[in-house]
Structure 1
Amino acid sequence: MSVTSALYTGISGLNANGEAMSVIGNNISNVNTIGFKQGRMLFSDVLSSTISGGSQIGRGVQIQTVENQFTQGSFESTESGTDLAIQGDSFFVVQNTSGRYYTRAGAFSFNKDKTLVNPEGYQVMGYGIIPSSGLSDGVLKPIDLTNFATTPPKQTSTVKFVVNLDSTQTTPTLAWDPANPVATSNYSTSLSVYDSQGNAHTATVYFRKTADNAWDWHVILPDAAAGTPGSTTTPIDGTLTFDATGALTAQTPLAGAAQNITFAGGVTAPQPIFFDLGVGATTQYASSSVVSSQTQDGYYQGTLTKVTIDDKGYVNGVYSNGQLQKLYQVALAKFSSTAGLSKAGGTLFEETLESGQPLFSDASTPGVGKILANSLEQSNVDMAAQFVKMITTQRGYSANSKTITTADEMLQEVLSLKR
């Protein structure tokens, strides 16, 4: 009978609103969960019954779906360089022995095995780097620093100077003497160069004015083998020519002419080094002689001291020798339908038929998103909105209970007809 149907209609309302309260409670309980995405309950009516005349009477409510909402959460700044957040709709890729998962929670750190993991030990996936190009190799793998604890030395191949030589200087009274270089030159500067094993060797460049707008330059490396270029007995000699404005217009030997330096100790020998004295940049002005810059491209073996991650997801190693090396690139995944993802607990998601297969890429790909280091994405739960939903859900629950009690009173009236 219709009154009995009203009882079941009320029960459906109690069940649906009770489950809705569970969803709201879950949202509120995760208001401080990193990378959490709130859910919402969607209801639909139950297939109606048809009575005489073609009219339809509803049979209550049912839960249609609990939908995850993937709106962007706000960002919290942190002190950890391995804390990551995504500005966009992509996901980090993590895995363990049970499978591969996707997450927005980027509270990562390196474990004892030097692998980047989340708090539950899931490995964060990334791409290796092609050394020649500095770009990712497209092969997904755990971000593991085991093979990057040190970086090998690099021998010096080019030395560059930019200096100002005082035009008011006069030619020293003594002719150039490599055995007495200080007294027979006007100015000098030194820097370290490196051999193939990372040993440092001091190279000193002496500048000697020979005439107006003309200077000689001489390089002495005390460690160079006797009788070879750069040694104290056989310095590297050259000339500098300036124009009337004080600009360096030419040098000899040319910057593109390598000087073959020979060091002892089983290192690569001879070692070709190009000396660039800064044509177009070095000057001869009436002010004190000074070095504007001096650089060389060699370095000694370095140890990994720090790891940084940039907005394109490149994991960069900072080494004790001053070198910055790209080690990995953090992988990202996108889905055709994020709403189709299934929650796996631990702020992780799994792909489903409804979500479609993941499209793997990285933050340097247009439209994928940007990675923010020293940041974490907060829960996207809106507390005010949840409390309003809690009130309306409570009202709905109470109203459905009234349907049941009222239908019960109506049944009591029917039973009291026979007295």
Structure 2
Amino acid sequence: MMRTLYAGVSGLKNHQVRMDVIGNNISNVNTNGFKSERVNFQDMISQLMSGASEPRDNVGGVNPKQVGLGSMVASVDKLMHQGALQTTSKNTDLAISGEGFFVLADGSKKFYTRNGNFDVDKEGWLVNPANGMRLQGWNATKSSDGKPNVNTAADTENLKVPLFQKEPAKETSFVRFKSNLNSSVQAIPAGVSDADRVKMIMDADPAKRRGHITSMNVFDDQGVEHTLKVFMWKSDTNKWTASVAMQGAEQLSVDVTGSNGQNTEVAGNTRLTLGFSPDGRLTSVSDGADMRNQDNLNAKVSFRLAGNPAVKNIELRLGEAGQVDGITQFSSAFTTKAVEQDGYTMGYMEAFEINDTGMITGVYSNGARNILGQVALANFTNPEGLTKSGQNNFVESINSGNAIIGTSGIQGLGGINAGFLEMSNVDLADQFTDMIVTQRGFQANSRSITTADQMLQELLGLKR
């Protein structure tokens, strides 16, 4: 009977632990990124009353006689399955869909969390606003060509978003064309004066128009805007002439590097000849001295600006030979259009966004978009082996394995969803069911104790 008392006490203690875990789960039902836990029991050591015996010639074997001495907690398991994602529309709220943890730092100490509730502090650091721990990743650095680059092979560092930082002006290095020249128009004879040619190109009646003008605003290295114009007119069957002009430019010229590698610059030349196949595909470009008829058909515009003796260059990207990705010649309306150039004036970073790989991109007032950095994720061989440290954080333990740091989508790491938070994975229906089972288990153990007590009372009553 004394064994019953102690077995019942162990049952009460174990069910109390289970109830503690259930209560903790329920209290964190609305805690972002919380991972629920469960308690597993196992029997305690058993007292051997008699051992087993093997079969003999005249009798069979006898099993051992053992009396259990109660139960004990076997484990408290973390349930690391995915929680539902809740939309917040806040760009610094991040949720992981799949495996992995965000990495936070408090000085040299590293913490890991599924809670992606982040914000930007006054110095631009991405932090957990509850405790100030800084989100880890890789900040972008500029390479020798001025383009931002993220080195994910380096050690992680505190991520910074430099809101309202200046972005210096960038001079235009290329202009890309996506256009069509109407093959149905009549050619303009070579002897027509420049003034008459411009009238024919700009005729108010579209039916009489024999060419088109396209213009694109380009920028110098100080961000000053200049208008680059290209006059195009039909000069012969499947041939068009393009004349380049630029506001404020001096010593303007245009030349082509031929397919043979030759580059004979003709000072003051501002015209190009575009050749087309009968089916309307661009096949060649020539500056009168050199011709290019394969691969990318580009031309270089060279010029100087007042007050700056340096020669500036802009590449005209007209298309690929034999393709329809650039300038074409079909019997359709003129759509001569320069669709892209890479220059801009000085601007300030006004906003930023984070994509599903954790890449942070700054959006500037001048229309520029630059990579600022990338969010790091961590995973472990045994995530259930992590130790909870409070504030929705985990730390490594000797059984979790070392952190495997990487980017979203690599080495089994999940995707990052900006504007979402991961909700707790606590299932209230399961918790309330477990609560009933735990209550009944606790109640049954208390009954075994009271029953054993009554039996002891009966034993003591034998003396009377």
| TM-score (norm: length of structure 1) | 0.89
Q: Match of 1:196, SS?
A: coil
Q: Which has the larger displacement, 396-405 or 104-113?
A: 104-113
Deviation per CA, 1:178-227: give whole Å up to 9, x if none. Answer: x78733644211111111222211111112333343332211112113x4
Q: Distance in 2 between matches of 1:417 and 1:44?
A: 37
Indicate which of 423, 426, 429 corresponds to 1:378. Answer: 423
CA distance 1:161–1:310, change in 2 (3 Å): same
Paired residues for 1:66-81 under 5 Å: 66-81=76-91
Paired residues for 1:160-309 under 5 Å: 160-166=176-182, 167-171=184-188, 175-177=192-194, 182-183=198-199, 185=201, 186-225=211-250, 227-229=251-253, 236-253=270-287, 255-266=297-308, 269-278=310-319, 280=322, 281=324, 282-309=327-354
Name the Cα RMSD after superposition.
Answer: 2.7
List gaps (5 residues or longer) in structure 2: 52-63, 202-210, 255-266
Q: Distance in 2 between matches of 1:136 and 1:201?
A: 36
| 1:348 maps onto 2:393 in alignment | yes
Tell me if structure 2 keeps the 8 A contact 1:72–1:88: yes
CA distance 1:322–1:147, change in 2 (3 Å): closer
Deviation per CA, 1:109-146: give whole Å up to 9, x if none. Answer: 22222111123221110023465584434320011023
Tell me if structure 2 keeps the 8 A contact 1:115–1:123: yes
CA distance 1:242–1:89, change in 2 (3 Å): closer
Paired residues for 1:36-75 under 5 Å: 36-51=34-49, 55-75=65-85
CA distance 1:176–1:283, change in 2 (3 Å): farther
Q: Which has the larger displacement, 183-192 or 67-76?
A: 183-192
The aligned residue for residue 35 of structure 1 is 33
CA distance 1:302–1:172, change in 2 (3 Å): farther
Q: Match of 2:14, SS?
A: helix
CA distance 1:137–1:128, change in 2 (3 Å): farther
Q: Tell me by how many angstroms 1:258 deviates.
A: 2.4
| 1:84 maps onto 2:129 in alignment | no
The aligned residue for residue 106 of structure 1 is 116
Q: Which has the larger displacement, 77-86 or 401-410?
A: 77-86
Tell me if structure 1 keeps the 8 A contact 2:163–2:351: no
Q: Tell me by how many angstroms 1:70 deviates.
A: 0.7
Q: Match of 1:316, SS?
A: strand
Q: Distance in 1 between matches of 2:305 and 2:43?
A: 87
Sequence identity (%): 41
Tell me if structure 1 keeps the 8 A contact 2:361–2:370: yes
Q: Which amino acid aligns with 2:235?
A: T
Instruction: Tell me the number of residue pairs that the alignment of Structure 1 and Structure 2 aligns.
Output: 412
Q: Distance in 2 between matches of 1:252 and 1:100?
A: 61
| 1:144 maps onto 2:166 in alignment | no
CA distance 1:265–1:104, change in 2 (3 Å): farther
Q: Distance in 2 between matches of 1:355 and 1:236?
A: 69
Q: Distance in 2 between matches of 1:401 and 1:228?
A: 99
Q: Distance in 1 between matches of 2:90 and 2:27?
A: 25
The aligned residue for residue 24 of structure 1 is 22
Q: Match of 1:283, SS?
A: strand
List gaps (5 residues or longer) in structure 1: none
The aligned residue for residue 7 of structure 2 is 9
Q: Which amino acid aligns with 1:114?
A: G
Q: Which has the larger displacement, 24-33 or 75-84?
A: 75-84
Deviation per CA, 1:253-282: give whole Å up to 9, x if none. Answer: 25544232111344x821112223345442
Q: Distance in 1 between matches of 2:230 and 2:11?
A: 90
Tell me if structure 1 keeps the 8 A contact 2:298–2:318: no
Q: Which has the larger displacement, 51-60 or 199-208?
A: 51-60
Tell me if structure 2 keeps the 8 A contact 1:311–1:372: yes
Indicate which of 139, 148, 162 corresponds to 1:128. Answer: 139
Q: Match of 2:253, SS?
A: coil
Q: Distance in 2 between matches of 1:213 and 1:28?
A: 77
Q: Distance in 2 between matches of 1:246 and 1:41?
A: 74
| 1:409 maps onto 2:454 in alignment | yes
